């Protein structure tokens, strides 16, 4: 579950966009970020408690809580609205962050229909993958949490902070001075925890393929 949990760090990519919309006012940014985090956290805790309570079902066997809630009763419409809002907020946050990146990439370009091209580059690939193979979603999250997220959000920031300290003589507080190397080591360990079994499986699979070819 570690890769999936690490994927939550990606939601931090919306912070530059929030800061820009709020004119970099620290108080407003803290308030927006705090409220924006607390509200879904409360919903998530309630959803987790509901799932635990309904998980075993009346028969004592594990069941899908969503399937149970959708069977009958007045809860179906609120549940649908809740699921829809969760999906839309995720899509909106990811879209705004990726759009900011695309604007930086296309900055200074005189391409016609730049906004349409930017939006299409963000939406169409993900839409195509979701339509062709929805089962790839969890596999993609595991892969992203294991490698890109750990590299970009775990290993990258401490290395950048250390480089800034070295090149610019930047000073950090005592807490950050201790936390930077610790976070770097933890991120490398997490990366290794995913990489070692994956590399082992790759080597083992390659060995079996070669063995079968030689045997023929």
Model confidence pLDDT, tens digit, residues 125-173: 888 877 887 777 777 777 777 888 888 888 888 888 888 888 877 777 7
> In this structure, are residues 146 and 3 in contact, taking their beta carbons and an 8 Å threshold?
yes
Per-residue model confidence (pLDDT) at position 63? 67
Domain annotation covers residue 188: yes
CA distance 21 to 15: 10
Confidence class of residue 23 from pLDDT cuts 50, 70 and 90? Answer: very high
> In this structure, are residues 68 and 57 in contact, taking their beta carbons and an 8 Å threshold?
yes
Same domain, 14 and 81: yes
Same domain, 94 and 162: no
Per-residue model confidence (pLDDT) at position 180? 86
CA distance 101 to 96: 9
Same domain, 1 and 39: yes
Domain's final residue, options 74, 98, 133: 133
Same domain, 123 and 160: no
Average pLDDT (34-48) is 83
End-to-end alpha-carbon separation of the chain, Å? Answer: 40
Confidence class of residue 22 from pLDDT cuts 50, 70 and 90? Answer: very high
Average pLDDT (181-188) is 89
What tokens were used for 168? 């610019």
Per-residue model confidence (pLDDT) at position 31? 92
Average pLDDT (27-46) is 86
Global model pTM greater than 0.75 = no
Same domain, 155 and 121: no
pLDDT at 86 over 70: yes
Per-residue model confidence (pLDDT) at position 28? 93
Average pLDDT (194-215) is 82
Per the structure, the complete domain to which residue 33 belongs is given by: 1-133
């Amino acid at each position: 579950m570690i890769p999936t949990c690490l994927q939550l760090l990606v939601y931090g990519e919306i912070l530059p966009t929030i800061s820009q919309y709020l004119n970099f006012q620290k108080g407003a940014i803290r308030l927006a970020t705090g409220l924006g985090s607390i509200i879904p956290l409360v919903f998530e805790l309630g959803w987790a408690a509901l799932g635990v309570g309904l998980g075993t079902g009346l028969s004592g066997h594990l069941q899908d809580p969503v399937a149970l809630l959708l069977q009958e009763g007045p809860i179906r419409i609120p549940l649908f609205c809740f699921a829809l809002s969760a999906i839309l907020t995720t899509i909106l946050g990811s879209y705004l962050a990726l759009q900011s990146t695309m604007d930086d990439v296309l900055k200074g370009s005189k391409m016609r229909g730049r906004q349409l091209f930017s939006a299409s580059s963000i939406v169409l690939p993900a839409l195509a993958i979701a339509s062709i193979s929805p089962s790839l979603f969890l596999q993609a999250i595991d892969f992203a949490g294991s490698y890109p997220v750990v590299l970009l959000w775990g290993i990258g920031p401490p290395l950048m902070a250390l480089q800034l300290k070295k090149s610019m003589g930047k000073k950090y507080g005592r807490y950050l001075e201790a936390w930077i190397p610790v976070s770097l080591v933890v991120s490398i360990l997490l990366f290794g925890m995913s990489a070692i079994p994956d590399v082992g499986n790759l080597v083992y699979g390659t060995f079996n393929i070669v063995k079968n070819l030689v045997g023929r």
